[in-house]
Amino acid sequence: MSIKIFLPTNYFYVKRSCNLYGQLHISDDNVVVYYVVDVDDTNTDDSNKTATTTIMDRGECNHMRFLGAIQCSDSYADSKHCNAHDMMLCFTYNNESPNVSLMFTGITPENLNQIKLILYDKQIVRSLIIKGYNTLNHWTMRETSPRQINDECDFYMLARLVQPEPGAIRNKSEGLWFYGSQPLCLLANLPMQLFKYIVGNAVVNGIIMHTVIYKHYKEWQTIYAAGSRLTNIMIDRALGILLMLLLFTLASHPGDFLIQISHIIISQLYSLLKVLEGSPIGLKLNIHLNNFFLDCFKYHIELWSTFLDLIEPIVRQVFLAIGAFGCLGFTYQIALLADLISIVGLHAHCFYVYTKVLNNVGVKGLTVLWQVVRGNRYNILRNRIEAHNYMNRQLYLATIFFSAILFLFPTTLVYYVVFATLKALTFATLAILEFFRRKILNFPIEMFLKCVKKGFNEIDCLRVLDIPLQKQLYFNYRNSKIVIFVYKLQV
């Protein structure tokens, strides 16, 4: 039986009393592996047992167990001292030796034949890439079990254990210049707190519940609470503020832009209806039905144009709101722009709904009347089509209605295809905006920067090097010395 101990390199040369925390794993080939991940600079004397218990509780809360301690050789007594404190490992140090020495292990079988002490650098192990996933995002998930990754490779287990908690990542990120000062932090979060208060109002919440801006607000809050994309949030706010300054400084009347866009859309719809008024792409449309559609749609566009003229002052202020939303972030501006596109193109959506209903009625009518003309009917009880003897007047009326719908259907189909295409273009525009909005928040910028800086390392690039020591380390066990081989992980 053999023992492996993974110990951070700086702890191997430290000379102070501290507690060791990590995990224990026993592989299938009877190799006991100790993963030392963190320490606590608390004295572990007999008189300080309460403090040790407190540290153990804190280690359990961090999903790490108490493994042992590093003690001065003068304070180390014997194995009873370690067993009393529930230690599995105990290293000692003195003024003569430049490094610590292993003095006690919780597992000391008679056939213990090998002890390996492997020193590692936390930063190197945290930057590993395994199977295309970086350890930071792949192994911090609680539902991911170590055995689901690779139970036989110690480096997989170590890479998962040394990852910081999501809360620790967030606290570390908040040490950036943007969050380093409390006044700057309050100033940066003031617009978001104000928007959160407005959205929390019951009336406002009921109005904007189904908008893109509200949906994005929920997604933004989830990402911010997780603390895994704070760099993205900072870049998002910087881009939003930059665009806000450009709109307010370079554009003299930014509200006129939306008015011009609205009138351009209305004029283009008029042009589209004018094309449908004749014979589009050589199609012969029914004149009377075509004129009816044109009158209805033109009247609808005139109503919408009148409505835009009435709300023109409000529309001008909406563009200012898009600029002001830069304080929240560039993604909020994109979300508000998506809502604005949906509102401006509302009449086109209504045209699509109208023509879709008429097209469905035409298709259903032709399907049913075709069975009647053929002398068949659908038996709902037996769920099948069967022959049926219709009266002459029934066949006569069915033939008339079938012919009428058949000759009117091409006109309805043309209008449906035109406005369905217009609806698809609007949907594609909104989809592109949603894609950029989500990518700005979810794109792994930190990972990308690390890849550019060669901050990630493939696990196959790890090398285990033998460390030459001034004095060979031994583990004394029942009047026998077991050689301790010391290695170091490098890339």
Write the DSSP string, 27-41.
-TTSEEEEEEEEEE-
Tens-digit pLDDT profile for residues 12-63: 888 888 888 888 888 777 788 888 988 887 554 443 443 443 444 444 445 6
Instruction: Tally Cβ neighbours within 10 Å of residue 340.
Output: 20
State residue 244's pLDDT score.
83
- State the DSSP H helix or E strand holding residue 141, giving kind and residue range, or none if neither: none
Q: Residue 343 in contact with residue 426, Cβ under 8 Å?
A: no
Whose tokens are 């859309």? That residue is: 265
Q: What is residue 228's DSSP assignment? A: S
State residue 188's pLDDT score.
65
Q: With a cut of 50, which residues of the chain have pLDDT below it?
A: 44-61, 131-152, 168-180
pTM of the model as a whole: 0.59
Whose tokens are 């053929």? That residue is: 374
Tens-digit pLDDT profile for residues 103-113: 888 776 666 77
Residues 6+ apart with CB under 8 A from 474: 481, 482, 483, 484
Q: What is d(CA 432, CA 428) in angstroms, rounded to the nearest whole number?
A: 6
Q: Residue 254 in contact with residue 476, Cβ under 8 Å?
A: no
What is the phi/psi pair of residue 315, to 5°? -60, -35
Which of 20, 91, 109, 4 has its CA nearest to residue 485?
4
The structure tokens listed for 317 are 């202020």
Q: Residue 313 in contact with residue 419, Cβ under 8 Å?
A: no
Q: What is d(CA 487, CA 117) in angstroms, rounded to the nearest whole number?
A: 6
What is the phi/psi pair of residue 95, to 5°? -75, -20
Strand partners of residue 385: 378
Q: What CA–CA distances, in Å, run from 379 to 372, 388, 392, 472?
A: 13, 10, 21, 93
Instruction: Tally Cβ neighbours within 10 Å of residue 241.
Output: 15
The structure tokens listed for 265 are 């859309």
Helix, strand, coil shares, percent, the chain, to 5: 60, 15, 25
Q: What CA–CA distances, in Å, run from 96 to 186, 467, 473?
A: 52, 19, 14
Which of 211, 246, 213 has its CA nearest to residue 332?
213
State residue 356's pLDDT score.
93
Q: What is d(CA 233, CA 224) in angstroms, rounded to the nearest whole number?
A: 8
What is the phi/psi pair of residue 478, to 5°? 50, 60
Based on the number of CB atoms within 10 Å of its own CB, is 236 exposed (0-12), middle (13-18) or buried (19 or more)?
Answer: buried
Q: What is d(CA 440, CA 331) in angstroms, rounded to the nearest whole number?
A: 7
Q: What is d(CA 286, CA 60) in angstroms, rounded to the nearest whole number?
A: 79
311-336 burial code (b ≥16 CB/10 A, e <16): eeeebbebbeebbbbbbbbbbbbbbb
* Cα-based torsion angle of the residue sequence 42, 48, 52, 53 in order, rounded to the nearest 10 degrees: -150
Nearest-Å Rg of the Cα atoms of the chain is 36
Q: What is residue 467's DSSP assignment? A: P
Q: Are strands 457-458 and 128-130 parallel, antiparallel or unpaired?
A: parallel
Coil/strand/helix, residue 168: helix
Q: How far is CA 199 from the centre of its chain?
A: 23
State residue 430's pLDDT score.
92
Q: How far apart are the first and last CA of the chain?
A: 29
- State the DSSP H helix or E strand holding residue 63, giving kind and residue range, or none if neither: none
**HSE-up of 251 (CA within 13 Å, CB side)?**
16
Coil/strand/helix, residue 465: strand
